[in-house]
Amino acid sequence: MLKHSLRWLTGLGAAGALVAASATPAVAAATIEPYFQDATLAVGAAATTRAVFLYADEPMVLTDVSVRYDYRSLSGTITVAPADGQECDAPEPGVLVCTEPGEVALTEMPPLGSGVYRNAAKQVRLGLTDDAQLGDSGDVVVSFQAAGGRRGSYTSQVRVGEAVDLAGGPYTTVSAKPGGKFTVPLAVANAGDTAVSGFVAVFDLAYAIRTKDRFSNCRYSDDHLVSCQFDEEIPVGTALVATLNLELGKDTYAPTNQSGHAQFMTTADFEDLTRVREAVGAQTATPGSGPKLTLTEVPGRLRQAAQTDVGPGNDHTGWIVKATGTNGTDLAAIGATLKGGVGAVVAATVGFRNNGPATLDKVNDDYEAATHSTVELPPGTTAVEVPDSCQLRPGTRTYQCASEMLLVAGRSYTVTFRLRIDKVVPNARGTVWVNAPCECPGGGSFEDDTKPANDRATIVVNAAQGGGGHDDGDGGDGDGGGGGGSLPITGTPTTLIAGIGVLLLVTGVAGYLFGRRRPTRLGA
């Protein structure tokens, strides 16, 4: 995996990022869905490594796992060999069966509270035989089974193409103020021995980086550039360059360095990565309605064979945008006022609001929260349902909650605790504290809040009028000075962010994935 890696590649890998989106719509309760990415294999190139990813909508541990690769439709064309030192058998030509040596635990994927659980079986290597011919294609049916009758299958497409080598241009650095415009080069070269016929640039741009252009061969999410597809041929030894007109959002935190990358891939490799989006009914990002973005005017000619990039270590380019000036962030706590009798269960919706003027963007390779909050329960209450993003501090009545990685200016981020009133204590008070200290392995809290005086708010519980118990489903009135309406802590202003990243926009499933998050789990 590339060290520079686009945020949607780092940690997840290209296949993993796509699977996170593609497998999710098919997942049902206690069901496991496998995914095995399509592949275009190049004649004369090294074997390609692939892994089966297993997805579920609840955590589980699988035992006695075996994976069967049925490639009989490609028998004599491809080879499937074990990697990672795993034990495999070939019961018949065109079939490989591998067993996992230990347990396979499906754990929750980033971002926190995604409700999607994943793990990968050990890898195999896909290669070509000496009899493989350009244009050959077929299916690999991958199936798994595990103890307890758990099983599933996925059909992946494999084709034989020709080898090419796309290379990105050098990294560049520019500067702009929040709201300011700038330009960067989009440069790609053919570093191989075969002309490249058509390619795709997939962008990973920080949330702050926007564009007003709407090229017809590019796709967008709001003002964010997602991908561009080009028909141009790149002759051997030729480099093509275009200029991207970009700008920083007015809510960009400053001073900071905002990064952007583009990865180039052949049309076939892009198809391998995204074909499944149609199978799950996903919608793509929106194409532009303006003129085409062109790099150079190179006479093109159609090629019948698919192409695959066999030298992917150099297929990217990137930019550092220095956001100049000063533009900070004020996070203000949101509390709640609740009423109920003994035995009543009331909903406390608490959290914080980003009063701006800057968006706080902590999207990174480690999926660290932008900040942490603590919620101390009022006396006389017990939490019976707790948000997935919150954990009880041992020996206390205080829960520590991790935020999203992107906190957009003007948005509120709240979670809901369901509290049982065990004893009516007049004006029982708990506390919500945003930016609370946290010695967390995944990062601490935001320490540069411009108005720390409003970082705390109260949760007040009193007896209901008339003495009756009830469930205050709206969580009561906030009193933390955050103001405005609230959004779930899982809410996102665009489908561009929070760990899964840009590729999900290409597949069009990011919004669905974030919308799937289960809001609560049973607590003490």
Domains of the chain, start order: 13-160 (2.60.40.10), 165-326 (2.60.40.10), 330-491 (2.60.40.10)
pLDDT score recorded for residue 132: 94
pLDDT at 275: 78
Residue 511 CB-density burial (10 A; 0-12 exposed, 13-18 middle, 19+ buried): middle
Q: For residues 425 and 343, give the distance between their C-alpha atoms in angstroms, rounded to a whole number.
A: 13
pLDDT of residue 315: 85
Residue-level pLDDT at 110: 64
| Residue 444 CB-half CA count within 13 A | 8
DSSP string across 385-396 = EEETTEEEPTTS
The answer for residues whose C-beta is within 8 angstroms of residue 461's C-beta and 6 or more apart is: 338, 339, 340, 346, 378, 380, 381, 419, 421, 425, 428, 429, 430
Helix (H, G, I), strand (E, B) or coil at 79: strand
List Cα–Cα distances, 19 to 15, 22, 39, 70, 204, in angstroms: 6, 5, 14, 20, 18
- Read off the DSSP letter of residue 215: -
Per-residue model confidence (pLDDT) at position 159: 95
Beta bridge partners of 446: none
**DSSP for 54-75?**
EEESS-EEE-S-EEEEE-GGGT
- pLDDT the model gives residue 274: 80
CB 509 within 8 A of CB 280: yes
Cβ atoms of residues 419 and 471 within 8 Å: no
Determine the pLDDT at residue 381. Answer: 97
Q: Could you please report the per-residue DSSP string of 412-475?
A: EEEEEEEEEESS--TTEEEEEEET-----TT-------S-GGGSEEEEEEEPPGGG-----TT-
CB burial of residue 105 (10 Å; 0-12, 13-18, 19+): exposed
Beta strands in 109-195 (DSSP E): 117-120, 124-128, 137-146, 150-164, 166-168, 172-176, 181-190
The first and second tokens of residue 190, run together, are: 């053919």
Per residue of the chain (524 residues), what is the pLDDT tens digit? 222 222 322 223 333 333 333 333 333 334 788 889 899 999 888 899 999 988 888 889 999 999 999 999 999 999 999 997 788 999 999 999 999 888 999 887 765 566 778 888 889 999 999 999 999 999 999 999 999 999 999 999 999 999 999 999 889 999 999 999 999 999 999 999 999 999 999 898 999 999 999 999 998 888 999 899 999 999 998 999 999 999 999 999 999 999 999 999 999 998 888 877 665 555 567 889 999 999 974 333 334 467 777 666 788 899 999 999 999 999 999 999 999 999 999 999 999 999 999 999 988 766 788 999 999 999 999 999 999 889 999 999 999 999 988 999 999 999 999 999 999 999 999 999 999 998 887 668 999 999 999 999 999 999 987 544 444 444 333 333 333 322 222 333 333 332 223 344 333 333 322 222 222 222 22
| Angle (CA) 216 219 223, round 5° | 105
Residue type, 48: T
Say how many C-beta atoms besides its own lie within 10 A of residue 222's C-beta. Answer: 11
Q: Using alpha carbons only, what angle is made at residue 246 by residues 244 and 247, rounded to the nearest 5 degrees?
A: 165
**pTM of the entire predicted model:** 0.80
Task: Work out the number of other CB atoms within 10 angstroms of the CB of residue 220.
Answer: 20
Nearest to 140 by CA among 66, 79, 227, 216: 79
Using CA atoms, how far residue 354 sits from 333, 412, 481, in Å, is 9, 6, 11
Say how many C-beta atoms besides its own lie within 10 A of residue 500's C-beta: 30
> Which of 180, 70, 49 minimizes the C-alpha distance to 123?
49
So what's the pLDDT on residue 69?
97
pLDDT for residue 312: 65
